[in-house]
Structure 1
Amino acid sequence: MSENEVVLVVGSGMRRYREYLLAGAARRHPVWLIDAADPDWQLPYVTGADTVPLLDRARLVPDAEGLLATAVRIAGERPVAGVFTYDETLVMATARIAEQLGLPGLSVDGADACRNKHRTRTALTAAGLPQPAFGYATTEAEARSHADRIGYPLVLKPRGMGASIGVVRADSAAELVAAFTVAERAGHGGAPAYEGGVLLEEFVRGPEISIDGATHRGEYRPFFVAHKSLGEEPYFEEAGHVVTADDPLLHDAALLDVLTRAHRALGLQDGITHTEVKLTDRGPVVIEVNARLGGDLIPYLGKLASGIDPAAVAADLATGTRPDLAPTAGGTTGIRFLYPKQDCTVTRVHLPAPGEVPGLVAAEAMVEPGARLLLPPGGYLSRYAYVICSADGPEACRARLDEAERAVLLDATPLEAERADA
């Protein structure tokens, strides 16, 4: 890259969860930000910025044409070396920019193969990878037909949502209609291109992990493995993750083979991905592949544990550079998200003081007083706080997360009590 070349970052996200990524990208390459609001906290990290609507306000979906026109104009005024996003909703628009400007990155077809969960499952099955039996339904009758063929338990999910929104388990025919309704309704909260229809899958048993990996000219390499914990059944809300720098799974031949073949089957040549996998008695099974860095601060955990800067990796890939994935630290870091026991209105969140819990890295409230928290299916991601702890190994880290969770106190009024008072 020459000194005046920039990397476009599409969408900066919320400061609490994404500042470390924008800062990391800026340390690697000069950044030009395309965002919906004038830069504020972003100013120390950007060479310049364009403020344009990220969403089509009439439909509340990414304004792909407007973003593309903005990127083309920027490229006409200064040299652009790459483009990337860490926002799931902007993945397709960013892929269009890369294709139009002839930049490295995921193709539009490759990004769609990740965004559309039905396409993902179909492509991986055709490639002969271990996959759950599945079907796609737009009506309850179609759902019953697929369920009869696949058998129970089943997992039902919208075909284009993220963060486990609308993902629900059905253990019997009696639970199927309600589960189909939950998944189908949740699917209308995202992009219209992926609205409607539900993916039904055989429930695959085994611990679940996620892998942030880099693909450069078709060569896939993993660099973070996160071990996931889930919330209350029958839903699949993510309750926490633990990342260890020298996790043996980073070098597991069977897992690496499945990941490499999956990326090849989806047509992913250049870019960063976040892949969710279950470790089953028949080997690693890919649940989904996301065309972006992981959410839930997983890349931040990986950075703390290993020293690898995930934003630098993403920026390198965006410019066609093979990233250095050698760890510079060794340890384990984990996060625990705290959910209320029932629907409630928050009065206050009490956090542990610095030094109160061994290994505590951060404890943050995620809501303000007065916030209403609704558990699935009434609401999703209703977290009131998170804690992050570091330790020498996974078990010690989980023990510290347990202690940190106990130190966080929630003052709240159950919604049932509010209704009774009213």
Structure 2
Amino acid sequence: MSRRALILVEGHRSNGPLYIKAALRLGLHPITLSADPAQYDYLAAEGTEAIGVDTDNLEGLIDVCCLLRTTYDIAGITGFPGLDESIYVTVGKLCRYFDLPGPNPASIERCYDKFTQRQLLGQAGVLVPAYRLVSNAKEVESAATEIGLPVIVKPAIGIGSSGVRLCRDVDELAEHTAYLLDGGHIWRSAPRILVEEFAEGQFCETTMMESEIIAVGLANFDRPPHFVPCESMFPAPLTDKERKRISSVSLRCLRALGLGWGPENIEFRWTERGPVVIEVNPRLPGWTTPRLIQLAYGVDLIAEHIKLVVGDECDLRAMHTHSAAARFLVPDRDGILDRIEGISLAAAEPGVYDVRFYVEPKTPIVRKGDYRDMIGHVIAASPSLTRTEAILRRAVDLIDWPITPFPILDEQQQSVALPRQSAGDAKWQ
């Protein structure tokens, strides 16, 4: 009998290793298809199979999978986002070609284009920020005037808050517009920019599977006017009425976008008008969310997703309700990370489940204003939110990671010394 294989299209810094380990526990042979497998160091660490292939080329992926079927029984196919969510469109098409369980490619396409998503949600009566789609600096300025400052300015297609900024005045608006249009941001097609009303309020998120709400959490951000995650927690301390309202809006989002198979993640801002939908993602979130949900509810979302992918029955019942939270380590300056000390002390604190840095000492730190600015995390859990927050504070205080600022350079030296965003950066969400 052929060995059952799980095909993973591309990889992911946080979720990728978890998918590999869960697949192995479920008796599956994980095989990663990537344009550059070497960028995912966990593949070598786990000793799993990886194949280099252009993952933007559907026909090429079909050819590789057909070849693999001569050796393996391909039980399922899933994947991770690259520069945008379009990898899930490819995954959906692959699943349909090989008659495997998977997402509807048309629904994913509607979702990853944030302008189209805004239109469909608004038509369904879902509360979204006021928005305009523009393509040049004059249109950005006009849209911001119509909506009223402050506004959010961001690419219509993208992930991980890359290129997203709160513009509070005309100077910030002009500066960020120049960044997006004059070479600072990498576009895979003609620039399409969303100018949106700034929905002020607590950030909330629902994580769902098969149209079932598994968890509702909160997150906080650092470094305004950018949106760099600094803390995430589950469950959110909401009233029953607030939970019911968010649940109702979440299900309406899925109906509006034609979603309902597999995992979904919906982001809100709880404003004076109630929950305003910021974004619907047809996938599991990155960061530490799957781990936090497992600690808070006892549900292994990644293992359950794999079961869906291979056509098995999944179990989404909560085993318990604890409070789980992550504190992300975000630099407050550019420079050289001198050293990292205190990890073992922090990890030994009762209630701490993970302490991790994503970079090594002596690494140059150049902040980019998005998820890539997170250089580590601490995860804790306990029966109560108050206790979990106290555990996190103690653990974080035990870690020392000083950064020495770069020497002051003139403009010409800076342009040579400081790295720019590369196409591969976004794959490391």
TM class, shorter-length: 0.7 to 0.9
CA–CA distance in 1 between the matches of 2:361 and 2:281? 33
Q: Pick the aligned partner of 2:206 from 205, 211, 232.
A: 211
| Equivalent pair of 2:147/2:197 in contact (CA under 8 Å) | yes
Identity of aligned residues (%): 24
Amino acid at match of 1:74: L
Shift of 1:74: 3.2
CA 1:28–1:257 in 2, change beyond 3 Å: closer, same or farther? farther
Q: Secondary structure at the match of 1:119?
A: helix
CA–CA distance in 2 between the matches of 1:54 and 1:291? 23
CA–CA distance in 1 between the matches of 2:240 and 2:46? 35
Shift of 1:245: 9.2
Amino acid at match of 2:219: K
Shift of 1:24: 1.9
1:18 maps to which residue? 16
TM-score by length of 2: 0.84
CA 1:32–1:232 in 2, change beyond 3 Å: closer, same or farther? closer
Q: Secondary structure at the match of 1:257?
A: helix
Q: Equivalences for 1:103-182 in 2 at 5 Å? A: 103-182=100-179
Shift of 1:129: 0.8
Q: Secondary structure at the match of 1:326?
A: coil
2:424 maps to which residue? none
For structure 2, the residue ranges without an aligned partner over 5 or more in a row are 418-429
TM-score by length of 1: 0.85
CA–CA distance in 1 between the matches of 2:76 and 2:236? 28
Shift of 1:373: 1.3
Q: Secondary structure at the match of 1:128?
A: coil
Q: Equivalences for 1:252-263 in 2 at 5 Å? A: 252-263=243-254
Shift of 1:415: 1.5
Q: Equivalences for 1:13-412 in 2 at 5 Å? A: 13-14=12-13, 18-28=16-26, 30-36=28-34, 37=37, 40-43=44-47, 49=49, 51-55=51-55, 62-75=56-69, 78-89=72-83, 90-184=87-181, 188-189=185-186, 192-193=188-189, 196-215=191-210, 220-244=211-235, 252-321=243-312, 323-354=314-345, 357-377=349-369, 381-412=372-403
| Equivalent pair of 1:11/1:87 in contact (CA under 8 Å) | yes
CA 1:306–1:418 in 2, change beyond 3 Å: closer, same or farther? farther
| Equivalent pair of 1:241/1:334 in contact (CA under 8 Å) | yes
Q: How many residues are treated as equivalent by the alignment?
A: 402
Amino acid at match of 2:206: I
| Equivalent pair of 1:240/1:334 in contact (CA under 8 Å) | yes
Q: Secondary structure at the match of 2:158?
A: coil
CA 1:50–1:366 in 2, change beyond 3 Å: closer, same or farther? closer
More moved, 231-240 vs 73-82: 73-82
Q: Secondary structure at the match of 1:349?
A: coil
CA–CA distance in 2 between the matches of 1:206 and 1:246? 15
Shift of 1:75: 4.3
CA–CA distance in 2 between the matches of 1:161 and 1:394? 33
Shift of 1:126: 1.6
CA 1:322–1:407 in 2, change beyond 3 Å: closer, same or farther? same
| Equivalent pair of 2:129/2:196 in contact (CA under 8 Å) | yes
Amino acid at match of 1:394: L
| Equivalent pair of 1:105/1:269 in contact (CA under 8 Å) | no
Amino acid at match of 1:366: Y
Q: Secondary structure at the match of 1:40?
A: helix
More moved, 304-313 vs 393-402: 393-402
CA–CA distance in 2 between the matches of 1:97 and 1:201? 34
CA–CA distance in 2 between the matches of 1:209 and 1:321? 31
Amino acid at match of 2:24: A
Shift of 1:249: 6.8
For structure 1, the residue ranges without an aligned partner over 5 or more in a row are 56-61
CA 1:128–1:149 in 2, change beyond 3 Å: closer, same or farther? same
